[in-house]
């Protein structure tokens, strides 16, 4: 298994060889490892033997059809978290609803456009990463000694339910949506134009927007573009009577998470909303996981990052998962250069403030699925799942650039320069066979960075290192 050239594994299932070739050609070989199956039985065998990151699944196949394959995939603990995109030539909403209600996360109609396919694939792969990371962080917390007490069932207050915003100026269409979602565990609010939509999301946390394309003040495409720029985590579903391919592609390119064509079918709407809400829930849970650990033994009291003990537990589980699923994990160790001089000249309170800000800058410089911890003293650790050597260097350079441009001293009377950092990078399993060796390797690279003049990163052979202050 070549971890240095890790690619997401996508299983394509179709009994038509031409369709298999077309779908495979749309997925860049440098990014994805494509595995093919010609029928449902072969698909299940392949998925259970080595679970993929994503499944693209045709509905109409001999023997076991796509609906049954989806149900079996979602019932098996080995594959239940693998997203399924059903691809079908069947017309009619009933087949679409059946696929979504059977557990598929997404559905595309043939002929598939490459732009739309790649957007959906990217979205579903992120969902898989969110699911995996949330699971392993929860497991790490439990094994670290933080056991969640079983919660009594309580009635959730209406104001705490997920918020859906309907942007629709046609009263008849609004009524259809309201009836479809009536009784569902959501808050549903309604506005009539783009201006009202932006006013709403600026004042109230919004999870999902059902957005009509044709509105009185601005079109839905422009609203979608602006929403995804300023509120990228809100799930946006474009709802329109336009059924042409160009409109759908334009919506996808602007960042829309889904697309519904009028007349809306209630069951399909509910199924799609459920999937998108799950995606939003996982993203929110992952981003706020550290907040739930406040006051527990998982967090470092000063920086708000995970502490040394939790880091050790998490890294062990992540490396085990790395070997099982075949992806690399990079580790960056970061140490503040000459930190003692800041404590000596400015006092320990100022030193603490530097560490606190530095921890938050590092955390804000990485992805949601990455993991930042205070390793000890003025040293930090960043775990990068799915990241090989070249991308680890890119992340190290991004962290350095962000730290360099950050103003740590808000008092102009302080004459000391902003702190710099040295970093050591190590990659598993390329450079280490276990957790201890990986940490030792990253620390040795950090030591080399210090010896070579500080304010730089180091990574082992092939010798790729850089002074980052030129």
Residues serving a catalytic function are 378
Of 202, 205, 204, 224, which is closest to residue 213 (Cα–Cα)? 224
CA 60 to chain centre: 31
Residue at token pair 């422009």: 222
Angstrom distance (rounded) from CA 243 to CA 251 = 12
What's the burial of 257, exposed, middle or buried (CB within 10 Å: 0-12/13-18/19+)? buried
- Write the DSSP assignment of 83-128 as a string of letters: -EEEEE---SHHHHHHHHHTT-SEEEESSPPHHHHHHHHHHHHHHH
Rounded to the nearest 5°, which phi and psi values hold at 78? Answer: -70, -30
| Distant-in-sequence, close-in-space partners of 470: CB < 8 Å, separation ≥ 6 | none
- Write the DSSP assignment of 348-390 as a string of letters: HHHHHHHHHHHHHHHHHTS-TTSEEEEEETTEEEEEEET--HH
| Distant-in-sequence, close-in-space partners of 424: CB < 8 Å, separation ≥ 6 | 332, 333, 441, 442, 443, 444, 445, 446, 447, 448, 449, 457, 458, 459
Q: In whole angstroms, how far apart are CA 166 and each of 20, 160, 390?
A: 38, 18, 43
Of 255, 181, 176, which is closest to residue 221 (Cα–Cα)? 255
């Amino acid at each position: 298994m070549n971890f240095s050239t890790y690619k997401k594994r996508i299983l394509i299932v179709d009994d038509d060889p031409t369709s298999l070739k077309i779908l495979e050609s749309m997925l860049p070989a440098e990014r994805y490892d494509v595995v093919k199956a010609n029928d449902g039985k072969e698909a299940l065998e392949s998925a259970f033997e080595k679970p993929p990151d994503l499944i693209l699944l045709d509905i109409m196949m001999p023997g076991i059809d796509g609906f049954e394959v989806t149900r079996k995939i979602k019932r098996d603990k080995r594959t239940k978290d693998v997203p399924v995109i059903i691809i079908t030539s069947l017309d009619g909403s009933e087949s679409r609803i059946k696929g979504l209600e059977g557990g598929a996360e997404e559905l595309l109609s043939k002929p598939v456009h490459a732009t739309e396919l790649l957007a959906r694939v990217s979205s579903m792969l992120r969902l898989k990463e969110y699911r995996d990371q949330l699971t392993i962080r929860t497991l790490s917390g439990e094994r670290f000694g933080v056991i969640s007490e079983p919660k009594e069932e309580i009635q959730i207050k209406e104001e705490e339910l997920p918020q859906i915003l309907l942007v629709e100026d046609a009263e008849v269409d609004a009524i259809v949506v309201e009836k479809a979602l009536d009784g569902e565990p959501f808050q549903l609010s309604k506005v009539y134009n783009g201006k009202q939509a932006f006013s709403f999301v600026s004042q109230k946390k919004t999870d999902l927007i059902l957005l009509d394309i044709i509105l009185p003040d601005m079109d839905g495409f422009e609203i979608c573009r602006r929403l995804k720029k300023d509120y990228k985590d809100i799930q946006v579903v474009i709802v329109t009577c336009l059924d042409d391919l160009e409109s759908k592609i334009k919506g996808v390119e602007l960042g829309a998470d889904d697309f519904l064509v009028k007349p809306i079918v209630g069951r399909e709407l509910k199924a799609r909303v459920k999937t998108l809400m799950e995606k939003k829930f996982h993203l929110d849970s992952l981003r706020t996981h550290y907040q739930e650990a406040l006051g527990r033994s998982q967090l470092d009291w000063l920086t708000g990052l995970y502490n040394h003990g939790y880091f050790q537990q998490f890294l062990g589980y992540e490396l085990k998962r790395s070997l099982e699923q075949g992806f690399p994990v990079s580790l960056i160790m970061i140490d503040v250069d000459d930190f003692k001089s800041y404590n000596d000249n400015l006092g320990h309170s100022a030193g603490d403030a530097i560490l606190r800000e530095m921890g938050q800058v590092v955390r804000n410089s990485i992805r949601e699925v990455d993991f930042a911890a205070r390793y000890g003293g003025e040293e930090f650790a960043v775990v990068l799942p799915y990241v090989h050597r070249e991308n680890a260097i890119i992340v190290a350079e991004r962290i350095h650039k962000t730290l360099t441009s950050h103003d740590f001293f808000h008092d102009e009377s302080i004459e000391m320069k902003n702190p710099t950092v040295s970093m050591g990078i190590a990659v598993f399993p390329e450079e280490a066979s276990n957790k201890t060796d990986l940490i030792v390797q990253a620390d040795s690279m950090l030591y080399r960075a210090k010896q070579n003049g500080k304010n730089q990163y180091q990574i082992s052979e092939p010798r790729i290192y850089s002074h980052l202050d030129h």
